[in-house]
Amino acid sequence: MSLDVSDKRISSTDPSQKCTFPPAPVTTQDLQASTTDTNEDLTPSTTVPPTPVTTQDSDPHATPSAATGRDLYDASMRGDLERVKRILAAGNVDINYRRWSVTPVMAAIQKGHRDVVEFLVGRGADVSLVDRDGNNVLHYACYDGDVETVKLILDLDVVDVNARNNNGQTAADIARISRHQRVVDLLVSRGAH
């Protein structure tokens, strides 16, 4: 069984994926036009940058951009840590954005990008979420078989080591199916069945 989410044929019913656009820059001419008579001679227009947009974590009332969420997801899946950092620093992005029910941290785990996983977790990515098949981040880590990523997730102590996906499989089951014996041994040492 594969969790490859890069297949573009999968359609989404996720309402968070509607297209939104960032605010347009405001010019001094726009500001003056709203407060002066249009027959008056206005000074030449200069661009005023838009009000800085903060991340969703900083401003719970901000509306995250779906396009930026997709960018974050793609950068996470590709393991482009610098791009992930830039996207999050720019703000107006949901760190738990879902594409085909998969979050950026799940995508990074699936593709074996531990540095991106650690960064996203450090920035507050919710590792308790599951995809539409009931797989959590520990399931994803067990498919990949990276012992250090599995340790990282277990050390967070957020995910039930014996949680089952919609097929009734635990993370240890996934590790066994994927033939990652070191991961199975680690999970069993932490109470997995």
pLDDT (0 to 100) of residue 16: 43
The pTM of the whole model exceeds 0.75 = no
CA distances from 105 to 41, 43, 52, 62, 141 (A): 54, 49, 26, 21, 10
Tens of pLDDT along the chain (193 residues) come to 445 444 433 333 444 444 333 444 434 344 343 333 434 343 333 333 333 333 444 455 556 667 788 999 999 999 999 999 999 999 889 999 999 999 999 999 999 999 999 999 999 999 999 999 999 999 999 998 999 999 999 998 999 999 999 999 999 999 999 999 999 999 999 999 8
- Count CB-CB contacts under 10 A for residue 168: 8
Question: Alpha-carbon dihedral of residues 148, 154, 157, 162, nearest 10 degrees?
Answer: 160
**What's the CA gap between 113 and 48, in Å, rounded?**
39
Rg (CA), the chain: 22
Closest CA to 121 of 101, 104, 139, 135: 104
- Per-residue model confidence as pLDDT tens digits over 124-151: 999 999 999 999 999 999 998 999 999 9
Quick one: DSSP state of residue 186?
H
pLDDT (0 to 100) of residue 24: 42
